[in-house]
Amino acid sequence: MSAKGLHHSLCQDAPDSAVEPGAWPWLVEKSSAGEAKGQRQAYQAASQHAMTFSVPDPEAQKGWIEEARHQFPAGLHQPEGSFRFSMDALLLARFGLECLAGLQKHGHVLRFADLGAGCGVVGLALLLWSKAPLHGVGIEREACLAEAARINARRLGLEANYAVACGDVAETARHSGLCRRMRLVLANPPWLLSGRCRVSPSALRRAALIGDESTLPRFMEAAATLLEENGRLALVTAMERYDDTLAALHGAGLFPYRLCRIATRAGAPARRLLLEGGRHPGVLHEETRLVQGRALA
């Protein structure tokens, strides 16, 4: 999608497609791993059939969408060899909802950006779980993942609410025509550093997980470009990148409001950091949360 087309898409009023938040299946396991895998495989096969063949009956199409929403986040299309989204993405989506809570205006459609969107899981989760009308754009540099995000939006009946642009986050933000138009910016940047970690043979996995010293600053630059005057940034990263994250935040002229450390066991060190920030200095709140369920990636 071109920058002009992206601007036109996001500047239109979006329909309110919000649905009630469902269970958080990646954090609360309700079935055995084998059963869950079988359910996901069966749904992926069925949903692929739905994308391949037209469904002339509107009621049948509606049924496919309802089933996709019921299964979410299982059943999302993810390209072969790409990094399978982890609990980080769903933590970020829930955190983004918290950040939006104090920013909602009755009757207004809120706009958000999803930086490093991958297959679209964070932005699509936000749309499904929010009770407020939202309209978002995902920015993803890998073409096959950007297309996967578009496919997933269509399967969930959210293509009118979620546009996808393919390109570098900072460059796309600058040329999108959406400067200072976003109430919320979500970011899940690669946090492993090149040369300091094991390297996957898959180029897509490497791109999703491994960055360099410029990665965090580029994501912060994009956030600063897109955020409204009183908008919010919601970001997830590893605790080991705590200092680098704050340095990049300040370097982009942004300030932290809330730092939420995530631990998976009582008494264990926190492994993830959720950060809320914005354009103006404010009181910094810090907390630690215990999240039990599937291990963090």
Give the DSSP per-residue string, 205-218.
Answer: HHHHHEE-TTHHHH
Residue 40 is predicted with a pLDDT of 45
pLDDT at 33 over 50: no
pLDDT in tens, 171-218: 999 988 888 899 999 999 987 666 555 656 666 656 655 667 889 999
Tell me how far apart the alpha carbons of residues 19 and 12 are, in angstroms, rounded to a whole number. 21
pLDDT for 103 equals 78
Q: How high does pLDDT run on average in the chain?
A: 79
pLDDT for res 26: 29
The whole-number pLDDT of residue 108 equals 78
Provide mean pLDDT across the span 58-65. 84
10 vs 14: CA distance, rounded Å? 8
- What's the rounded mean pLDDT across residues 284-295? 82
Local structure of residue 25 (DSSP, 8 states):
T
Name every residue whose Cβ is closer than 8 Å to that of residue 93 and which is 6 or more positions away in sequence: 121, 122, 123, 125, 126, 129, 186
pLDDT digits (tens, 9 = 90+) for 218-258: 999 999 999 999 999 999 999 999 999 999 999 999 999 99
Tokens encoding 5 = 């087309």
SS3 call for 258: strand
Average pLDDT over residues 103-126: 88
pLDDT at 37 over 50: no
Instruction: State the pTM of this model.
Output: 0.77
**Band of residue 20 on the pLDDT scale cut at 50, 70, 90:** very low
DSSP, residue by residue, 182-243: EEEEEE----EETTSS---S-HHHHHHHEE-TTHHHHHHHHHHHHEEEEEEEEEEEEGGGHH
- Chain position carrying tokens 């942004």: 254
Highest-scoring range by mean pLDDT, 61-65, 72-76, 82-86, 259-263: 259-263
> How would CATH label the architecture of 3-290?
3-Layer(aba) Sandwich (3.40)
Confidence of residue 76 (pLDDT cuts 50, 70, 90): very high
Query: What is the mean pLDDT of the segment spanning 262-286?
Result: 94
Per-residue model confidence (pLDDT) at position 191 = 73
pLDDT of residue 9: 52
Rounded distance, CA 150 to CA 44, Å? 16
pLDDT at 47 exceeding the cut of 70: no
Check residue 55 and report its DSSP letter: -
Mean pLDDT of 289-296: 68
What does the pLDDT average to over 156-167? 95
Could you give the percent of the chain with pLDDT greater than 90? 54
pLDDT of residue 102: 75
